[in-house]
């Protein structure tokens, strides 16, 4: 078996080291080694977006990233979205807008929305739908998700104006 190695990375602002086999995906490391199970596995091959995390600010499906590739990067996961005990605008909008039913896809959608709003704070409905197309939801029909993203964008814009 290939030797395990120590990987040093930053997760949600904290320096983290973990021991990792080369064949372990970042998703597996997060869930099974670091016990950060907020990131979900829906398909294991990059087609559902449930395992979306931000790597150096860019959204990636963590099932298609090796744990060893996390060396020296900055990761952000669903566990790092809230500011302490205060939800951020995206979480708040999903919560208030009933933008989840079973909730399994929600962490992925929230991370993907964070990525969208970071690069495009005022997306159109079409831009939202295009950007979120890599995230599958089977419960909501997407209506309330898209509205929640719109609402989060508006709230953030409002916060900026203050």
Closest CB to other proteins among residues 72, 158: 72
Interaction of residue 77 with other proteins, rule CB under 8 A: yes
- CB neighbour list of residue 81: distance below 8 Å, 6 or more residues apart: 87, 88, 90, 91, 110, 111, 114
| Residue 159 beta carbon to other proteins: minimum distance, rounded to whole angstroms | 18
Does 61 help bind other proteins (rule: CB under 8 A)? yes
* C-alpha 146: how far from chain center: 16
Please tell me the count of residues contacting other proteins according to CB under 8 A: 88
**Under rule CB under 8 A, residue 36 binds other proteins:** yes
The tokens describing 60, both together, are: 């990636």
Q: Which of 38, 74, 154, 156 binds other proteins (CB under 8 A)?
A: 38
Residue 35 CB, shortest distance to other proteins, in Å, is 6
Distances (CA, A) of 121 to 6, 67, 150: 37, 31, 10
| Given 6, 8, 19, 23, the residue binding other proteins (CB under 8 A) | 23
In the complex with other proteins, which residue's Cβ is closer, 56 or 122? Answer: 56
Minimum distance between the CB of residue 41 and other proteins, rounded to whole angstroms? 7
The answer to whether the beta carbons of residues 10 and 64 sit under 8 Å apart is: no
Indicate the helix (H) or strand (E) that contains 96.
helix 89-96
Binding to other proteins by residue 65, rule CB under 8 A?
yes
Burial of 161 (0-12, 13-18, 19+ CB in 10 A): exposed
Please, which residue, 16 or 104, has the CB nearer to other proteins?
104
Binders of other proteins among 92-151, rule CB under 8 A?
92, 94-98, 100-107, 110, 112, 115-116, 125-126, 128-147
Residue with the two structure tokens 């120590």: 6
User: Cα(22)–Cα(46) distance, rounded to whole angstroms?
Assistant: 19
Question: SS3 of 18, please?
Answer: strand
Question: Binding to other proteins by residue 91, rule CB under 8 A?
Answer: yes
């Amino acid at each position: 078996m290939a030797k395990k190695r120590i990987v040093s990375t930053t997760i949600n602002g904290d320096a983290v080291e973990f021991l990792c086999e080369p064949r372990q995906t970042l998703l597996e490391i997060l869930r099974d080694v670091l016990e950060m199970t907020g990131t979900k596995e829906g398909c294991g091959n990059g087609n559902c977006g449930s395992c979306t995390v931000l790597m150096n600010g860019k959204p990636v499906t963590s099932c298609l990233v090796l744990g060893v590739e996390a060396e020296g990067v900055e990761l952000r996961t669903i566990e790092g979205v809230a500011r302490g005990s205060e939800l951020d605008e995206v979480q708040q909008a999903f919560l208030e807008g009933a933008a989840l039913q079973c909730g399994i896809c929600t962490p992925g959608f929230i991370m993907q929305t964070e990525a969208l709003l970071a690069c495009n704070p005022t997306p159109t409905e079409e831009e939202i739908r295009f950007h979120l197309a890599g995230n599958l939801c089977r419960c909501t029909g997407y209506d309330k998700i898209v509205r929640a993203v719109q609402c989060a964008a508006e709230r953030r814009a409002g916060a900026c104006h203050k």
